[in-house]
Structure 1
C-alpha cells in the first residue's frame, strides 16, 4: 500500500484498459446479481407456508439494490477507465477522479455488507422454519394445503417433523371425524378431546428401510416383531431445509459477493495508482510524461524510481513564468492604451503648446526633481553611516603637554 511507482504513458494506457475490463465485468455481475436475487425471492416464497414471521423480501431486495448500484457505478467507471487510456480524452474526467474513487470505496463496503448478510441469513431462515414447521404440524389435520406441503416436504427432502420425528408425538395430526372415539385404544389416547399417540404420517417413512414402514405405535415394540430400529427419517425438516437454502442459495450468493468484493478492492487499488500517476504527470507539466503512482501519499517506501522531490519547485517556477508572461501582456496592452489616450488628448488639446500639455510637463519635471532630491538625501545618510566612532576618535587631536606648558608660560609672562 505504501509502495510508490513511476508509470510511463504506456503503462498508464495498459492499466486503464485493464481497469476498464474489470469494471465492465463488475457491471455485468450487477445485472447477474439482480437476476439471482429475483430467483432467490421466488424460491423462498415457494416455502412461505412453512416460514413464520419471516420477511421474504428483505435479503432479495437488498441484493437487487446492490446489483443496481454496481451496474450504474461500474458502467460509468468503465467509461472513465477507457477514456483515461488517451491523453486527449482523460482531461474531461480530471475533476471527478477523487469523487469517483470515494464512490468506489463506499460501494465496496456495501458489497461486503451484502456478503455478510447472506451468511447471517441462514440462522434467520432456520428460526423461521422451526416456528413455521411446528405450527404446520398442528394445522396438518385441518388445512389441506398445509398437509400437502408438509407431506411433499418430508418426501422430497427425506425428513420428518421439525427437529425430529418425535415432534409428531406431541401434536394431534389426525382429525376426529376419521376416528372411532368409542374405541378403547382411542379413548386411552385422547387428551382434551384430541388424539395424541406415538404415530407419524406415512410421508415420514424411509425408502431405505429394509422392512415395511412402521409409522403407527412407533415406540411400542409389542406390536412389531423383530423391531430393532425405526423405519422413519431421523433428520428434522428444519435442518434439512435450512441446509438446502444455505447450499443452493445463500452460500453461493455470499461466496460470489465476497469474490466480487475482492475484485472491487483490486479495482480501487489500480484506479488509485492510475489517478495519482495522471495527476503527478500533469503537475510535472507533461501529461504524456512519467508520473508517480501510489495509494497513500507521504509514504517513505520507494519502488521503481520513486518521486522527484524537485517537481514542486519546477511547478512553482513554471507558474511564476506564466504569471510574468501574463503581466507583460497586460503591461504592453496598457502602454498601448495609454499611448492611444495620449494621442487622443494631444489631438483634442491642440498639440504640444496646449495648456494641458504644459501642466503635464511641469508635473513630470517636479517628479523628477523630487526623485533627485531623494537620491541625494539617501547618499548623505549612507555617508553618515560610514563615519564610525573609531574614525571620529582618530580624527580628533588632543593638546600635547608641551603646548599646555607653552600656554602656561605665556600666561606667567603676562602676569
Structure 2
C-alpha cells in the first residue's frame, strides 16, 4: 500500500504544479542569498586575514558559495520540470531523469545539514584562530617596515575603532609588548634608555595603548599613556575610569560579530532544508499523480499521488535487502579470484604422468 496517498483531479494537479513552480523559484532566490552571504562572509574574513592564524576559516564561506550555486541549479531545474509537467509533449522527456534528480536532492539536503552544523561548530575554531592571530598582530604592530607586516598596524587600528575594542583579551595586552618601533624611540633620552635596559629582553614596555583604543564618548581628552599611574593625571583613577578607553577585548568583539553571521547563515540553511524537503515531496506527488492517470489519453481523468510506493516499513525492508544483496555480490566477486588462483596452483602440482 502506498504511503500517504492523495487523490488528484486536473485542477488539483494544475494548482500543485503552479505552487511548486513558485516554491522552486523561491528556493532559487534563497540559493542566491546563500551564495551572496558566502561571498560577504569571505570578504569580511579577508579584510582581517592578517589577524587570522590560518586559512582554514575560509572553508565555511567557500562551502556556502558552492552550496548556493548548487541550490540555484537544482531548483531552477525543478522549476522547469514543474512548468512542463502539464504539457503532454514536454513532460515525457523529463521522466527518465526524475528518480536520479530526487536522489541527488536527498544528497544535497544532507550536504545542507552538514553545512549548517559547520556554521554552528566552527565558531570555536574561529575563536582559537582569532586568539592566536590577534596575539601575533599586537606583537607585529610596530613592524611597519617589514614586508608582509606593513599593514598590520592599519588593520589592527581600524579593527579597534570599528569594533570598539582594545587588545586581544583587554587593553592590558598592550602593556606586555613593545608596540612602538625603535626608529621612533630617542635612545639618547635617559628615561627611554633606562626603560629599555631594565627589561630582560631589551624591549621598551610601558602602560600605554595606541590611539585606536580611545573611546570618543569620553568626556575628557583621551589618556593613552601611564594608564595605571593615577598620579600622572589629574582627577584620574584607573580602577574606575571606564570611559577613557575601550575595555572589551577584540577577540570577544570579533567572535561575537562573526558568530552572529554564522548563526544567521546556519538558521537560513535550516530553513532551506525545510524548503527543499517541501519541493521534493511536492514533486514526488506531482510525478506519481501524472504517472497513475486512470485514462492516460484523457488529461482530465483522476489519479493518485504518493510519497512512497510502499509503506515505510516495506520500503525500509526493501532497502536493507538490496544493500545485503549488494554486499553479497561484492563478496562473491572478491572470492572468485582466490578460487581461480588455487585451481591454477593445483594444476601446477599435478604430475605430468597424469596429464
- Residues 188 and 110 from structure 1, CA distance in 2 versus in 1: closer, same or farther, beyond 3 angstroms? same
* Alignment pair present for 1:227 and 2:205: no
2:72 matched residue in structure 1: 71
TM-score of the pair, normalised by structure 1: 0.65
Unaligned runs of 5+ in 2: 145-149, 313-355
- Which deviates more, 100-109 or 154-163? 100-109
- Residues 251 and 116 from structure 1, CA distance in 2 versus in 1: closer, same or farther, beyond 3 angstroms? same
1:7 matched residue in structure 2: 8
Report the alpha carbon displacement of residue 111 of structure 1 after superposing the two structures with TM.
2.2
Report the alpha carbon displacement of residue 160 of structure 1 after superposing the two structures with TM.
0.2
Report the alpha carbon displacement of residue 282 of structure 1 after superposing the two structures with TM.
5.9
Aligned with 2:167 (options 161, 165, 172): 161
Q: Contact conserved, 1:54 with 1:128, CA < 8 A, in 2?
A: no
Q: Which has the higher Rg, Structure 1 or Structure 2?
A: 1
| SS of equivalent to 2:56 | coil
1:55 matched residue in structure 2: 56
Q: How many residues align?
A: 299
Report the alpha carbon displacement of residue 2 of structure 1 after superposing the two structures with TM.
4.9
Report the alpha carbon displacement of residue 288 of structure 1 after superposing the two structures with TM.
4.2
Provide the rounded CA distance (Å) in 1 between the counterparts of 2:253 and 2:198. Answer: 31
Provide the rounded CA distance (Å) in 2 between the counterparts of 1:149 and 1:95. Answer: 55
1:341 matched residue in structure 2: none
CA displacement, residues 214-271 of structure 1 (integer Å, 9 cap, x when unaligned): 3222222232343232322111111212222333x43333332222222111111111
Alignment root-mean-square deviation, CA: 2.7
Once the two structures are superposed, the pairs formed by residues 77-88 of structure 1 within 5 Å of their partners are: 77-88=78-89
Provide the rounded CA distance (Å) in 2 between the counterparts of 1:135 and 1:158. Answer: 20
* Alignment pair present for 1:173 and 2:179: yes
Aligned with 2:257 (options 237, 241, 244): 244
Provide the rounded CA distance (Å) in 2 between the counterparts of 1:10 and 1:103. Answer: 29
1:192 matched residue in structure 2: 201
* Alignment pair present for 1:274 and 2:286: yes
Aligned with 1:150 (options 152, 156, 179): 156
Q: Contact conserved, 2:174 with 2:209, CA < 8 A, in 1?
A: yes
Provide the rounded CA distance (Å) in 1 between the counterparts of 2:166 and 2:114. Answer: 35
Structure number with higher helix proportion: 1
Report the alpha carbon displacement of residue 141 of structure 1 after superposing the two structures with TM.
1.6
CA displacement, residues 278-305 of structure 1 (integer Å, 9 cap, x when unaligned): 23326989664222222234449xxxxx
* Alignment pair present for 1:264 and 2:266: no
Aligned with 1:289 (options 298, 301, 309): 301
CA displacement, residues 148-174 of structure 1 (integer Å, 9 cap, x when unaligned): 221222122211001111111211212
Report the alpha carbon displacement of residue 137 of structure 1 after superposing the two structures with TM.
0.8
TM-score of the pair, normalised by structure 2: 0.75
Provide the rounded CA distance (Å) in 1 between the counterparts of 2:10 and 2:134. Answer: 64
| SS of equivalent to 1:211 | coil
Q: Contact conserved, 1:14 with 1:85, CA < 8 A, in 2?
A: no
Q: Contact conserved, 1:31 with 1:71, CA < 8 A, in 2?
A: yes
2:211 matched residue in structure 1: 202
Aligned with 1:254 (options 257, 263, 266): 266
Aligned with 2:190 (options 182, 185, 189): 182
Q: Which runs of 4+ in 1 moved over 4 A?
A: 282-288
Greater RCO (Cα-Cα under 8 Å, separation 6 or more): 2
Q: Contact conserved, 1:22 with 1:267, CA < 8 A, in 2?
A: yes
